[in-house]
Amino acid sequence: MEITAFLDRKLARRFRTYDTDGDGFIEREDFTQAGERTTKAFGLAVDDPKAVRFHDMLIGLWEHLSSVADRDRDGRISVDEYKNAFANGLLETPESFDEGYVPFLDALMSIADEDDDGKLTLEEHVKWTGALLHLSERDARGIHDLLSDEDGLLSTEALLAAIREFYFSEDPAEAGNWLLGSLD
């Protein structure tokens, strides 16, 4: 995969959402803390099956990411290692992306979609993006407005399409490219 200047900016932004403690590295603890924040934001007990599934998915994501990105095997991933993993084929195609990402999104939606209708309200979207990704309420509201339907709801399918755009689209006009807010 070619890392264009635009994709480089998007990957740098995504890296910052993973780096919970802001130390310039992604570590297993960043994923653990993100899971704890998210399940706590939705009032789930640690042993709730939804929380357990979500935590397991996050740790699986960490293990996969570290296996392909942590080149020096020091237990943490630098921004350069993260970007190099993409350049070396971490995400080959939108289809291979879906295979890995859809189960994670399902686990997230089982927590964030509190009424199980397959759609997120503005409040649900703001809550999960703030807890998991450290998105500001302003950025979360903006992307929700871009992606939601005429009823103000964001479907799982629309969210997946936006996430796919974030990683694969070079068109700055595509809403998914702003999924995490400003790229600066």
Q: What is the pTM of this model?
A: 0.90
What is the tens place of the pLDDT at every residue in 146-180? 999 999 999 999 999 999 899 889 999 999 999 99
Q: For 66-133, give the DSSP string.
A: HHHH-TT-SSEEEHHHHHHHHHTTSS--HHHHHHHHHHHHHHHHHHH-TT-SSEE-HHHHHHHHHHHH
When the candidates are 1.10.238.10, 1.10.1740.10, 2.40.50.140, 3.40.50.720, the CATH number that belongs to 5-178 is 1.10.238.10
What is the tens place of the pLDDT at every residue in 49-79? 999 999 999 999 899 889 989 999 999 999 9
